[in-house]
Chain A
């Protein structure tokens, strides 16, 4: 039993990469939930997008998916770039209007 565990650890396969991406996902979720700075929340979103991308490319390496997985990863990177640009423009507008980027103080839509 112990020997097989060591053997499993010594040969990184699909599951190892998936576990790395799961830990990155939970760290990004932690940043989104516990931080009150808009820019920290954006960084958490970037971390989650990266963990999804690791999944796509690991599947393209280890299964029959082939290069389609890398293609999806490429489009995820493109959309992340567009998202970061627009989100930071919105953050600058919010800062101009409220003089704060604390998420708890931006509650104008709360009714």
Chain B
């Protein structure tokens, strides 16, 4: 048994186990931390797939950015002290039947399909080629993604500041 195989099974079991803890945990803060371990496991799977730059980006953007945003969302939307970070679970039986069905269907399709696998040489690093592609073939999607991020930032700031000015106005009226 090779080291790559052992690492693949270790990281995939860690990813799936953390995701299962995230879904079935009652405490939303526990869910957020389980999501962190799941995202780190996905980043290690990217490393096993020779995608070093994507793995670093995954760690920076997901673990460093989105997860912190989610934790801030949890903290800002808890209702007083009586609300002890619980989540309500409904429709447990239909949801599990549907997701098990989807998982079985997807796995069946993935196993049965005859993929055209070709042997790709192991690259030393992908960041040079990715940079050349970004400034070459993908320059238009790159610029559009930049504009999209700018619009998202402006929209998020607009919504958040309107929220605070509204509450100030309400306090003045009262």
| Bound Cα distance A61, B98 (Å) | 31
What is the interface of chain A, defined by CB distance below 8 A to chain B? 10-20, 22-31, 33-40, 42-44, 46-47, 50, 53-54, 57-58, 60-64, 66-68, 70-71, 73-75, 77-86, 88-93, 95-96, 99-102, 104
B96 at the A/B interface (Cβ < 8 Å)? Answer: yes
Contact A27 B159 (CB under 8 A): no
Other than A60-B51, A64-B116, give 18 A-B pairs with Cβ distance below 8 A: A11-B5, A19-B107, A20-B15, A25-B102, A30-B95, A33-B94, A34-B96, A50-B62, A63-B118, A67-B126, A68-B133, A75-B145, A77-B58, A81-B152, A84-B66, A85-B153, A89-B160, A101-B77
B148 at the A/B interface (Cβ < 8 Å)? Answer: yes
From residue A111, how far is it (CB to closest CB) to chain B in Å?
A: 22
A101: chain B residues within 8 A (beta carbon)? 77
| Bound Cα distance A104, B159 (Å) | 23
Residue of B nearest to A67 (CB): B129
- Given the known interface contacts A17-B45, A95-B76, A96-B166, the answer about A88 and B69 at a Cβ–Cβ threshold of 8 Å is yes
| Bound Cα distance A30, B90 (Å) | 11
- Given the known interface contacts A17-B49, A86-B156, the answer about A46 and B66 at a Cβ–Cβ threshold of 8 Å is yes
Residue of A nearest to B19 (CB): A27
B106: chain A residues within 8 A (beta carbon)? 22, 25-26
From residue A19, how far is it (CB to closest CB) to chain B in Å?
A: 5
Contact B133 A71 (CB under 8 A): yes
Contact B145 A78 (CB under 8 A): yes
B111 at the A/B interface (Cβ < 8 Å)? Answer: yes
A68: chain B residues within 8 A (beta carbon)? 133
Main SS at interface, chain B = helix
Contact A86 B39 (CB under 8 A): no
3 A-B pairs closest in CB distance: A26-B103, A33-B95, A82-B152
A39: chain B residues within 8 A (beta carbon)? 28, 70, 73-74, 77
B135: chain A residues within 8 A (beta carbon)? none
Offer 11 A-B interface pairs, CB within 8 angstroms, sorted by A. A23-B19, A25-B106, A28-B23, A39-B28, A39-B73, A40-B31, A71-B138, A81-B65, A85-B152, A85-B153, A102-B88
Contact B103 A22 (CB under 8 A): yes
B82 at the A/B interface (Cβ < 8 Å)? Answer: no
